Chains A and B, each alone.
Chain A
Amino acid sequence: MLVLDRVGKVYPNGVHALSGVSAEVALGEIVAVIGGSGCGKSTLLRAVAGLDPASEGAVLLDGERISAPHEKIGIIFQEPRLLPWLKVADNVGFGLHDRPKDERAQRVAAALKRVGLADKAQVWPRELSGGQAQRASIARALVPRPEVLLLDEPFSALDAFTRGDLQDHLLDLWADAKPTLIVVTHDVEEAIVLADRVMVMRPRPGHIFEEIGVDLPRPRDRQSAAFDFVKRRLLSALDRSLNRAGAEPGEEQKAAAGAALWW
Chain B
Amino acid sequence: MTIVAEGTPANEPAGANRWTRLTRPALGLVLPVTLAAAWEIIVRMGWSTGRLVPPPSVVFTTFVDLARTGDLQRDTLVTLGRVAAGFGFGVVAATIVGAAAGYSPLVRRLLDPTLQALRAIPSIAWVPLFVLWLGIFEASKITLIAVGVFFPVYLGLMGAIQSVDRKLVEVGRAFRLSDTEMVYRILLPAVLPAYIISLRSGLGLGWMFVVAAEFLGASEGLGYLLIDGQQLGKPAEIVAAIVAFAIIGKVTDWLIALAAAPFLRWEDVVRHD
Q: Which residues of A contact B (CB under 8 A)?
A: 49, 51, 68-71, 74-75, 77, 79, 81, 83-86, 94-95, 97, 124, 126
Contact = CB atoms under 8 A, between A and B. Distances in A.
B170 A83 contact: no
Contact of A126 (B171, B174, B268): B268
Contact of A81 (B171, B185, B192, B265): B171
A91 to B, nearest CB: 9
Contacts of A71: 176
Given A51-B170, A77-B167, A81-B168, A69 B190 contact: no
A81 B167 contact: yes
B1 to A, nearest CB: 22
Interface residues of B, number: 17
B186 interface: yes
B171 A83 contact: yes
Contacts of B168: 81, 83
Contacts of A126: 266, 268
A51 B171 contact: no
Contacts of A79: 167
A69 B173 contact: yes
A152 B56 CA distance: 67
Contacts, number: 40
B167 A94 contact: no
Q: Which secondary structure characterizes the binding site on chain B? A: helix
A49 B175 CA distance: 11
Interface of B: 167-168, 170-171, 173-176, 185-186, 189-190, 192, 265-268
B178 to A, nearest CB: 11
Nearest to A73: B174
Q: Which secondary structure characterizes the binding site on chain A? A: loop
B189 A51 contact: no
A85 to B, nearest CB: 4
Given A51-B173, A69-B175, A77-B171, 8 more contacts: A51-B170, A51-B174, A81-B171, A83-B168, A85-B190, A86-B266, A94-B171, A124-B266
21 contacts: A51-B170, A51-B173, A51-B174, A69-B173, A69-B174, A69-B175, A71-B176, A74-B174, A77-B167, A77-B171, A81-B168, A81-B170, A81-B171, A83-B186, A83-B189, A84-B267, A85-B190, A85-B192, A94-B171, A126-B266, A126-B268
A81 B164 CA distance: 13
B189 to A, nearest CB: 4
A85 B167 contact: no
A86 B268 CA distance: 13
Question: Which among B174, B175, B265 has the greatest number of chain A C-beta atoms within 10 A?
Answer: B174
A49 B167 contact: no
Contact of A95 (B173, B175, B265): B175
Contact of B174 (A75, A84, A86, A97): A75
Contacts of A49: 174
Contacts of A69: 173-176
A22 B58 CA distance: 88
Nearest to B170: A51
A25 B157 CA distance: 46
Contacts of B174: 49, 51, 69, 74-75
A69 B186 CA distance: 17
- The 6 A-B residue pairs whose C-beta atoms are closest, nearest first, are A85-B189, A85-B266, A95-B175, A69-B176, A81-B171, A75-B174
B22 to A, nearest CB: 27
B108 to A, nearest CB: 20
A94 B190 CA distance: 15
A82 to B, nearest CB: 9
